[in-house]
Amino acid sequence: MEMVQAVVSAAEKTHSPVILQTTPSTVKYADCNYFYANVRTAAERAHVPVVMHLDHGNSFELAMQAMRAGYTSIMIDGSHYTFDENVELTKRVVHPNNIPVEAELGKVGGKEDDLDGGEGDPYTNPQEAARFVELTQVDSLAVAIGTAHGVYKGIPKLDFDRLSEIRKVVEIPLVLHGTSGVPDDAVKECIRRGMCKVNYATDLRIAFTNGVNRVLNAAPGTIDPKKYNSEGRIEVEKYVLQKMEILGCIGKG
**pLDDT value of position 174:** 98
Catalytic position from the list 55, 84, 113, 161: 55
**pLDDT value of position 184:** 95
Tell me the three-class secondary structure of the chain, residue by residue.
CHHHHHHHHHHHHHCCCEEEEECHHHHHHCCHHHHHHHHHHHHHHCCCCEEEEEEEECCHHHHHHHHHHCCCEEEECCCCCCHHHHHHHHHHHHCCCCCCEEEEECCCEEEECCEECCCCCCCCCHHHHHHHHHHHCCCEEEECCCCEECCCCCCCCCCHHHHHHHHHHCCCCEEECCCCCCCHHHHHHHHHCCEEEECCCHHHHHHHHHHHHHHHHHCCCCCCHHHHHHHHHHHHHHHHHHHHHHHCCCCCC
pTM: 0.91
Q: In the chain, which stretches have pLDDT less than 50?
A: 112, 117
**Residue 77 known to be catalytic:** no
